[in-house]
């Protein structure tokens, strides 16, 4: 039932449906939904790969072409930023490891062609962060202006430092030292991630294929906000399809998930990727994942929530209770990221102290 | 079928129920609104626009509606929704026609990257198009409307769309937008002009829109070739003065007024280079519209 309203878009993206079989009425929905989920440019390149652009009606085509032009700009900008990072990282002897969108695109994952992203995410060993931040400052990247509380929030409790913004180009980089907040109940060991990383281009590294999958699942299903959930799940689907083009050991994924304490997000990613995109994941893999972990509040209940947030906030897909589902998952996300006492303290600060801080600093 | 085939009530009903699928330049907008001001605006200022209620594919799904919430009891606000998102802060009810126009302009400039899009007016006569890039307050819209009043074809008063393939100008003949004093100037200069509702107290002051001639709307699929890049400068009491400008100056000024030059990268560079190569560039200081028009008629004769 879940993918019904997005069925045409999903199956065009995965290749289960050909462009020539889509009616104009369906294209109308595909373009609107694709725009609100930020996947139009990915759709362009996937159709190009399958030589189906020729079957796209003329009136529809410009939407895809224009989206691909925007994604080319993202790619150019990312490449030029990386070129500027490289000497800084080299001078410190720190490995430049990309995460998320930038990693998928720069490592030329076929599924990521046309993928856009607003920030460049990097992974750096915690011990190197201070030196790196200081060096990047000399090149114009400065910590975005935040209150003392926010600085502490990031530096003591989170898995990343406050975003660095370039003073002239306004590009944003997020430097992570691990993939979940330090305060989260799940405790993946960051040093494992560095050990498995692979060089994807001269001096540019990404996580191993399996860690990339686990991270993709983690930042989608352990988060508090789901604005890009559809596209993030499409990433997971694409990464799975990509590893399946070669020989892939499903057991290795489960073992690594266990080792990294990430079975929970992996469970969700496998479940919803199959539901939404018909990802070719063997049923026994899902079952063995379920044996290790199932949602406390039952899978059926979580389906009700996640169905509502994975589908984009587009009118055509609005289900009753979407706003409530968002709120509940927002609370869940925070609960997973922080122990209860700290969470209460954090929410109290955000609700009653931060607004006043902003007023006084503005005055 | 065109908008004026409807009665004003039918037009309002369509907008309020299923929405109106309306042709604007190369685009199709699907506009929904139950606001009488919006219906009146479309009926008055888009009478010659083609509508096709059976059309399955539209480019821009748009809604202009009252913002819900208790604040609406004190001061009713309207918001513009595109594809389920609200890209601007809501405006007061009285400004809903301006919100509709700005909203459609935003739809084009934020998405139609198959064109290089300039913040500029463009008009055509004798197969020669004049592009007028200019900051607000330079009299660009006033001069553009005055030229249209004298029979020039309106290509666009706000967004000049340049094909990245051949540098031809794609018309977008929407209503022309006038601000503050220029509203009265044009009412006097062109007494037969059709004005929409005057929206007061907007960020830009008072704003009113003028209906484009039917011929400009009917010829909106006919592309035009740029011949002149003109920098108009209205100066009260000044004598007419036409000064030739260098191509490099014209190029850089066009870049400054482009919405998506950097986004398009080399596509934009080549399209704009061709356009500037084939065009002459001038600065025109004027105080009298008739003098300015005679001068421009000479340039394209």
The DSSP output letter for B3 is G
Q: Is B227 on the interface with A (CB under 8 A)?
A: no
Counting Cβ atoms within 10 Å, is residue A284 exposed (0-12), middle (13-18) or buried (19+)?
exposed
Q: Helix and strand tally (H, E) in chain A?
A: 17, 7
Contact between residue B119 and residue B257 where contact means Cβ atoms under 8 Å apart: yes
| A14 has pLDDT over 90 | yes
Q: Which comes out higher in pLDDT, residue A133 or A338?
A: A133
- pLDDT digits 0-9 by tens, A144-191: 767 777 777 777 777 788 888 998 888 899 999 888 777 777 777 778
The verdict on a CB contact (< 8 Å) between B83 and A36 is yes
Q: How confident is the model at residue A361 (pLDDT cuts 50, 70, 90)?
A: very low
Q: How far apart are CA B48 and CA B46, in angstroms?
A: 6
| A221 has pLDDT over 90 | no
- pLDDT digits 0-9 by tens, B167-206: 999 999 999 999 888 999 999 999 999 999 888 877 778 8
Contact between residue B4 and residue B42 where contact means Cβ atoms under 8 Å apart: no
pLDDT of residue B260: 95
H/E run at residue B99: helix B96-111
Nearest-CA neighbor of A9 among A312, A323, A318, A320?
A312
Q: How far apart are CA B158 and CA B155, in angstroms?
A: 9
Q: How near does any CA of chain A get to the CA of B265, in Å?
A: 7
Residues of A in contact with B84 (CB under 8 A): 32, 36, 313-315
pLDDT of residue A253: 95
Q: Using CA of residue A70, residue A225, residue A233, residue A222, what is the dihedral sign?
A: positive
Q: How many CB atoms lie within 10 A of CB B228?
A: 18
Give the structural domain span for A249. 4-362
Q: Looking at the partner chain, which of A66, A314, A315 has a beta carbon nearest the beta carbon of B112?
A: A66
Counting Cβ atoms within 10 Å, is residue A275 exposed (0-12), middle (13-18) or buried (19+)?
middle
| A363 has pLDDT over 50 | no
The verdict on a CB contact (< 8 Å) between A63 and B83 is no
Counting Cβ atoms within 10 Å, is residue B43 exposed (0-12), middle (13-18) or buried (19+)?
buried
3-state SS of A179-198 is CCCCCCCCCCCHHHHHHHCE
Mean pLDDT rounded to a whole number for chain A? 87
Mean pLDDT computed over B121-147: 90
Q: How near does any CA of chain A get to the CA of B254, in Å?
A: 20
Q: How confident is the model at residue A272 (pLDDT cuts 50, 70, 90)?
A: very high
Range 39-68 of A in CB contact (< 8 A) with B? 57, 59-60, 62-63, 65-66
Residues of A in contact with B112 (CB under 8 A): 62, 66
- pLDDT digits 0-9 by tens, B49-60: 999 999 999 999
DSSP letters spanning B14-80: HHHTT-EEEEETTEEEEEEE--HHHHHHHHHH-TT-BB-TT-S--SEEEEEEEPPSTHHHHS-EEEE
| Buried-exposed string B177-200: b where 16+ CB fall within 10 A, e elsewhere | bbbeebbebbeebbeebebbbebe
- pLDDT digits 0-9 by tens, B252-262: 999 999 999 99
Nearest-CA neighbor of B138 among B269, B256, B26?
B256
The verdict on a CB contact (< 8 Å) between A73 and B85 is no
Residues of A in contact with B83 (CB under 8 A): 32, 35-36, 314
Nearest-CA neighbor of A30 among B61, B53, B22?
B61
Q: Is A245 on the interface with B (CB under 8 A)?
A: no
Q: How near does any CA of chain A get to the CA of B51, in Å?
A: 16
Q: Is B59 on the interface with A (CB under 8 A)?
A: yes
In a mutational test of the B interface, the residue from A70, A78, A314, A322 whose CB has the highest number of chain B CBs within 10 Å is A70
Total domains in chain A come to 1
Nearest-CA neighbor of A285 among A335, A322, A250?
A250
Phi/psi region, residue B139 (left: phi>0; alpha: psi -120 to 50; beta: rest), is left
> Among all residues of chain B, which has the CA nearest to that of A77?
B263
User: Residue with structure tokens 């304490």?
Assistant: A261
- pLDDT digits 0-9 by tens, B227-267: 999 999 988 888 999 999 999 999 999 999 999 999 999 99
Q: How far apart are CA A23 and CA A238, in angstroms?
A: 25
Range with lowest mean pLDDT among A52-61, A258-267, B38-47: A258-267
What CA–CA distances, in Å, run from B108 to A33, A43, A57, B133? 18, 21, 20, 17
Q: Which comes out higher in pLDDT, residue A331 or A277?
A: A277
Mean pLDDT rounded to a whole number for chain B? 93
How do the domains of chain B map onto residue ranges?
3-111, 115-300
State ipTM: 0.92
The DSSP output letter for A111 is G
The DSSP output letter for B85 is B
- pLDDT digits 0-9 by tens, A228-257: 899 999 999 999 999 999 999 999 999 999
Q: Looking at the partner chain, which of B56, B85, B113 has a beta carbon nearest the beta carbon of A28?
A: B56
Q: How many CB atoms lie within 10 A of CB A201?
A: 15
């Amino acid at each position: 039932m879940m993918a019904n309203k997005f069925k045409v878009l999903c199956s065009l993206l995965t290749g289960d449906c050909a462009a020539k079989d889509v009616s104009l009425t369906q294209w109308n929905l595909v373009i609107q939904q694709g725009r609100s989920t930020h996947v139009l440019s990915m759709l362009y390149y996937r159709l190009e790969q399958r030589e189906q652009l020729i079957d796209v009606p003329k009136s529809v085509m410009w939407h895809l072409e224009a989206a691909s032009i925007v994604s080319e700009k993202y790619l150019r900008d990312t490449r030029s930023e990386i070129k500027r990072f490289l000497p800084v990282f080299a001078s410190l002897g720190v490995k430049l490891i990309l995460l998320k969108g930038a990693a998928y695109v720069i490592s030329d994952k076929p599924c990521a062609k046309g993928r856009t992203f607003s920030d460049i995410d990097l992974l750096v060993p915690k011990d190197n962060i201070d030196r790196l931040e200081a060096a990047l400052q000399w090149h114009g990247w400065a910590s975005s202006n935040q209150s003392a509380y926010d600085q502490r929030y990031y530096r003591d409790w989170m898995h990343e430092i406050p975003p660095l913004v370039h003073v002239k180009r306004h590009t944003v980089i997020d430097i992570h030292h691990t993939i979940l907040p330090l305060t989260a109940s799940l405790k993946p060991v960051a040093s494992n991630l560095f050990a498995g990383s692979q060089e994807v281009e001269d001096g540019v590294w990404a996580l191993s294929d399996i860690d990339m999958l686990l991270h993709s699942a983690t930042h989608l299903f352990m988060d508090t906000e789901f604005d890009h959930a559809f596209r993030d799940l499409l990433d997971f689907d694409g990464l799975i399809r990509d590893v399946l083009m070669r020989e892939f050991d499903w057991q290795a994924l489960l073992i690594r998930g266990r080792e990294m304490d990430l079975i929970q997000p992996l469970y969700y990613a496998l479940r919803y990727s199959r539901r939404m995109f018909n990802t070719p994941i063997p049923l026994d893999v899902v079952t063995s994942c379920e044996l290790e972990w199932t949602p406390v509040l039952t899978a059926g209940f979580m389906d009700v929530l996640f169905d509502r947030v994975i589908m984009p906030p587009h009118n055509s897909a609005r289900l009753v209770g979407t706003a409530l589902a968002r709120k509940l998952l927002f609370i869940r996300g925070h609960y997973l990221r922080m122990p209860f006492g700290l969470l209460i303290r954090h929410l109290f600060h955000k609700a009653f102290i931060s607004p006043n801080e902003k007023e006084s600093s503005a005055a | 079928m065109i908008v004026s085939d409807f009665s004003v009530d039918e037009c309002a009903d369509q907008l309020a129920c299923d929405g109106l699928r309306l042709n604007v330049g190369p685009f199709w907008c699907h506009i929904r609104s139950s606001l009488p001001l919006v219906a009146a605006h479309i009926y008055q200022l888009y009478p010659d626009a083609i509508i096709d209620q059976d059309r399955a594919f539209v480019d821009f799904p748009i809604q202009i509606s009252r913002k819900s919430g208790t604040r609406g009891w004190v001061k009713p606000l309207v918001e513009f929704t595109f594809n389920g998102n609200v890209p601007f802060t809501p405006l007061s009810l009285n400004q809903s026609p301006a919100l509709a126009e700005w909203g459609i302009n935003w739809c084009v400039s934020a998405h139609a990257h198959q064109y290089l899009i300039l913040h500029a007016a463009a008009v055509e006569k004798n197969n020669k198009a004049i592009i007028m890039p200019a900051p607000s307050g330079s009299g660009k819209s006033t001069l553009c409307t005055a030229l249209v009043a004298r029979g020039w074809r309106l290509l666009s008063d706000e967004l000049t769309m340049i094909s990245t393939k051949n540098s031809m100008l794609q018309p977008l003949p929407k209503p022309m937008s006038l601000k503050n004093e220029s509203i009265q100037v044009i009412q006097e200069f062109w007494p037969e002009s059709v004005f929409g509702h005057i929206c007061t107290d907007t960020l830009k002051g008072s704003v009113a829109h003028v209906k484009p001639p039917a011929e400009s709307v009917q010829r909106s699929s006919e592309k035009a070739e740029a011949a002149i890049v003109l920098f108009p400068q209205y100066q009260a009491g000044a004598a007419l003065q036409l000064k030739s400008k260098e191509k490099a100056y014209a190029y850089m000024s066009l870049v400054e007024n482009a919405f998506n030059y950097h986004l398009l990268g080399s596509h934009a560079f080549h399209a704009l280079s061709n356009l500037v190569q084939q065009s002459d560039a001038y600065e025109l200081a004027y105080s009298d519209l008739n003098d300015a028009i005679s001068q421009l008629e000479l340039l394209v004769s």
